[in-house]
Amino acid sequence: MKWILPVLVVAWIVAEVATFVVNPFHAPVSQLPMRLFGMQYFKAEDDTMAPTVVPDQYVLITAWPYLQRAPATGDIVAFFDPGQSYVLQLRRIVAVGGSTVAIRDGATLVDGQRQVEAWLKGQTLKSDRSRTMSVRHVGTDHYFMMGDHRDVSKDSREWGTIERGAILGRQW
């Protein structure tokens, strides 16, 4: 019976080393908790995702769902900022690869269809960039991201689409 605990500890260490080396979550070395466990806490620094995620709120990001499926419209995901590859951002996926996205009179249109975005919770969109955007194509393995607080969010309307490889995981 004395051997059970040491064997379990060694098995756990071997599993963690294998997970780190194989990297099934596709996480960079700098994101050690995500690389080892497939989960990591993220602290919202601004109100881009308000009211869903407010400033200084911690959320758990997990890569586990994306082992079985691709990121989907509506998912809130953590990804590397395209302008500063060491900075993580948190935004919602509004369109996936192969789609078109536009904004008309404050409504988000994906493939020409008006989207029901309950998470906007009746916001009054004031800025021109939140009320209108010409049609943009989302390339294969790319995602169009927007913050829930559309008037203040810096997102795919400025950066362009985000590659699948930049996405760490989704909010739990």
Residue 138 DSSP code: P
Give the structural domain span for 53: 4-171
Strand partners, 104: 107
Mean pLDDT, residues 120-132 taken together: 86
User: 15 with 21: CB under 8 angstroms?
Assistant: no
Number of domains in the chain: 1
3-class SS at 66?
Answer: helix
pLDDT at residue 125, as a whole number:
85
Both tokens assigned to 153: 């969010």
pLDDT at residue 3, as a whole number:
86
State CA 41 to chain mean position distance.
13
CATH classification at residue 102:
2.10.109.10
Q: At 140, is the pLDDT very low, low, confident or very high (cuts 50, 70, 90)?
A: very high
**Residue 89: which of 37, 14, 155, 138 has the closest Cα?**
155
pLDDT at 170 > cutoff 80: yes
Mean pLDDT, residues 96-125 taken together: 92
**Residue 139: which of 169, 101, 102, 96 has the closest Cα?**
96
User: 144 with 161: CB under 8 angstroms?
Assistant: yes
Residue 128 contacts by C-beta under 8 Å, 6 or more apart in sequence?
Answer: none
Q: At 94, is the pLDDT very low, low, confident or very high (cuts 50, 70, 90)?
A: very high
What are the pLDDT digits (tens) for 36-69? 888 998 899 899 999 999 999 999 999 999 988 9
User: 93 with 71: CB under 8 angstroms?
Assistant: yes
pLDDT at 18 > cutoff 80: no
